[in-house]
Amino acid sequence: MLKGFKQFLLRGNVVDLAVAVVIGAAFGKVVTAVVEGLITPLIVAIAGKPNYSSIAFKINGSKFPIGDLINAIINFVMVAAAIYFLVVTPMNALTARMRRGEAPPDPTTKKCPECLSEIPIAAKRCAFCTIAQ
């Protein structure tokens, strides 16, 4: 029983997942610091400090604090914008710059002229409409 557990723990994907979780947690702290230290103060300087937590309504005595939801949505959008503009966009530009001189890979499929389905290049007949190529 312990041998199987040891094999499970030492599989590559379990270790990779553990590393990804740790790096993800650290990266989450960096993104939070960027949002709280740069983006939020910039928004506060331009538009003032928005706080919607006091917005609520009641139905049959039940209170619905939708202001907290609005604050959470705004926070999510700010974090997503920080990740997109400070991580995704520069990484895409770097990847495109690194691939600039590479030739595209040879195609492995072609379109059937009759039914326009994707078929292997070496195919003599289309599997879908059986037209000879």
13: domain CATH number is 1.10.1200
Residues 47-103: tens digit of each pLDDT = 777 778 888 889 999 999 898 888 889 888 888 888 899 889 999 999 988 888 778
Question: 51 with 76, same domain?
Answer: yes
Distance CA 113, CA 133 (A): 8
Question: 97 with 129, same domain?
Answer: no
Question: 13 with 76, same domain?
Answer: yes
Higher pLDDT, 2 or 91: 91
Question: 40 with 72, same domain?
Answer: yes
Distance CA 39, CA 77 (A): 11
Question: 98 with 117, same domain?
Answer: no
Question: 117 with 83, same domain?
Answer: no
Count of domains for the chain: 2
Residues 11-47: tens digit of each pLDDT = 768 778 888 999 999 998 998 888 888 888 888 888 7
Question: 83 with 129, same domain?
Answer: no
Greatest alpha-carbon pair distance for the chain in Å reads 73
This prediction has a pTM of 0.57
Q: What is the pLDDT of residue 90?
A: 93
Expressed as residue numbers, the domain containing 79 is 2-102
**Whole-angstrom distance between the N-terminal and C-terminal Cα of the chain?**
57
Question: 34 with 85, same domain?
Answer: yes
Question: 52 with 75, same domain?
Answer: yes
Residue with tokens 């910039």: 42
